[in-house]
Amino acid sequence: MPPSPSIRPLGSAPPLRDRGDACPGALRLHAAADGLLARVRVPAGDLTVRQAAALADAAEQLGDGFLSLTSRGNVELRGLTDGCDGRLAGLLGDAGLLPSARHERIRNILASPLAGLDRHTPADVRWWARRLDALLCASESATALSGRFLFVLDDGRGDVAALGGDVSLVAERDGAGERTAADGGTALLRVGDDPAALRIAGPDAPRAALAAAEAFLTAAEASGTGAWRVRELPQEHALTARDVAGALRAAGIAATHVPDGARPFTATGPTTTHPNPGPAAGPTTTDPNPGPAAGPTTTDPNPNAAPAAGPAPAAADSSAPGVVEGADGHHALAVLAPLGRLSAAQWRLLTATAAQHGSGELRLTPWRGVVLPGLPAAAAADRLAALSAAGLITDPSSPWHRLGACTGRPGCAKSRTDVRADLAHAVAAGAPVPGGSPAPAPGAPIYWSGCERRCGHPHGTWVDVLATADGYQVSVVRPDASPATQETRPQ
């Protein structure tokens, strides 16, 4: 499949793009070694049981009978046959998965999967996602966005804020943590790796995100580099929070400049984070000469303070499998797909569990998992056991937790080996890192890749297991490190 963005260390030159991106979609299929591939965008990972059933139908009737989950909470269908385009579009369209054919590849919206579900939940940013998706699909200018451009909506716990968004929104909480993003509160808007942010009213967040994306398109056109993402803009055309402030003013959105929006999301620190998220991608230093503002911008006299004081209760870890206790007596089940791959039978079991025991919805996560909200507390443990028996990862102690791999052979002709089979053998031997030694970055995700493109690799700090002509090479990837300081050891 088309590669993920390459690992670009700090200080390296941005790429020059002389064509549009080749990201597959639901209507633009990619020819892989194992047949055609479709990538179905699922904004915020939200699916109804009807939509989930349609995806299973497509996998069984048109593909290889499996569904792959991506690191952006989307679904890939592989092994599709020639000439299936019309039937696939019909299945997806009838289920409401293709609201706009012209926008289907740009609906890349990643959101905190447990928003509104756990006992001490931060703001429910799913409203942002629904509204932003509607705005994108109604925008003529948004059709110029790359299929790689990513919106990230973090509910304040810090789980998705560091996952490489081009436009990121982070909800800020009041002291009780009970306000929803739709009803009030504030949000921090960031673009790319700029450490500064703009504080905006929560209800303005979707419109502000679209305005920021449109500001990127303007900067990309001015740069002449064909940039697909904010981080690809050359320094002289870099998009900053101050630049976006002008676009927000033009849209009638009030914003306050926060000089260091990368600081904790509340006055007392993040509500909770991924256990080992690693450093945020990109630099965290402030440009000593950021240039003039795009217009008059308010600067918060105490910009790093959140609207409310007092300790924030810990929210659940949204990357971990298990039972998630809700505030209303209902529980959610969080499971992971081994290497992000589910059989149609496993997928239908998840769908049936959501329909018969849950709220009728499924949430896909960037950790290649699925969350099923709304189960009665008394039923949660039994349903989780049933999912475990079906081969899903339901326990954080599973040896498959935090392991990932690209497609590898035979699905990808560019791969040097069948990395998934090699990883399965390594796990069976009790050594998920080649050579039998412990992971060089304990707790970090471990990702096996069949070639240097490293499709689907994690963000932050991670262990890179790369297939080479001489065997596997193990490195620790730290986005804030120069190439000379990356730790590498051949196996």
Digit-coded pLDDT (tens) for 7-34 = 454 445 677 786 778 899 999 999 999 9
| pLDDT > 50? residue 317 | yes
Higher pLDDT, 310 or 382: 382
Mean pLDDT, residues 183-207: 93
pLDDT score recorded for residue 294: 36
Distance CA 32, CA 23 (A): 12
Digit-coded pLDDT (tens) for 417-448 = 999 999 999 999 988 998 766 777 788 899 99
Mean pLDDT, residues 285-295: 33
Token code pair at residue 369? 């998992």
Mean pLDDT, residues 106-121: 91
CB-based contacts of 180, cutoff 8 Å, min separation 6: 116, 123, 124, 127, 202
Of the pLDDT bands very low, low, confident and very high (cuts 50, 70, 90), residue 180 is: low
CB-based contacts of 218, cutoff 8 Å, min separation 6: none
Higher pLDDT, 483 or 268: 483
CB-based contacts of 101, cutoff 8 Å, min separation 6: 27, 89
Digit-coded pLDDT (tens) for 246-287 = 999 999 999 999 998 654 433 223 333 233 333 333 322 233
Token code pair at residue 374? 């709304």
Nearest to 319 by CA among 262, 438, 404: 404
pLDDT score recorded for residue 123: 73
pLDDT score recorded for residue 168: 97
pLDDT score recorded for residue 4: 39
Start-to-end CA distance of the chain, whole Å, equals: 27
pLDDT score recorded for residue 181: 57
| pLDDT > 90? residue 416 | yes
Cβ neighbours of 27 (radius 10 Å): 17
Q: Which residues pair with 472 in a beta bridge?
A: 467
Burial string for 351-388 (b: 16+ CB within 10 Å, else e) reads bebbbebbebbbbbbbbbbbbbbbbeeebbeebbebbe
Given a contact cutoff of 8 angstroms between Cβ atoms, the answer to whether 482 and 11 are in contact is yes
Total-model pTM:
0.85
Given a contact cutoff of 8 angstroms between Cβ atoms, the answer to whether 410 and 386 are in contact is no
pLDDT score recorded for residue 329: 87
| pLDDT > 80? residue 243 | yes
| pLDDT > 60? residue 471 | yes
Given a contact cutoff of 8 angstroms between Cβ atoms, the answer to whether 205 and 199 are in contact is no
| pLDDT > 80? residue 104 | yes
In the sheet that holds 446-449, the strands lie side by side as 403-405, 446-449, 462-468, 471-477, 487-490
Q: How many whole angstroms from its chain centre is CA 3?
A: 16
- With a pLDDT cut of 90, the percent of the chain lying above it is 69
pLDDT score recorded for residue 85: 94
Question: Residue 1: exposed, middle, or buried by beta-carbon count in 10 A (0-12, 13-18, 19+)?
Answer: buried
| pLDDT > 70? residue 459 | yes
pLDDT score recorded for residue 22: 85
Mean pLDDT, residues 190-201: 96
Digit-coded pLDDT (tens) for 339-375 = 999 999 999 999 999 999 999 999 999 999 999 999 9
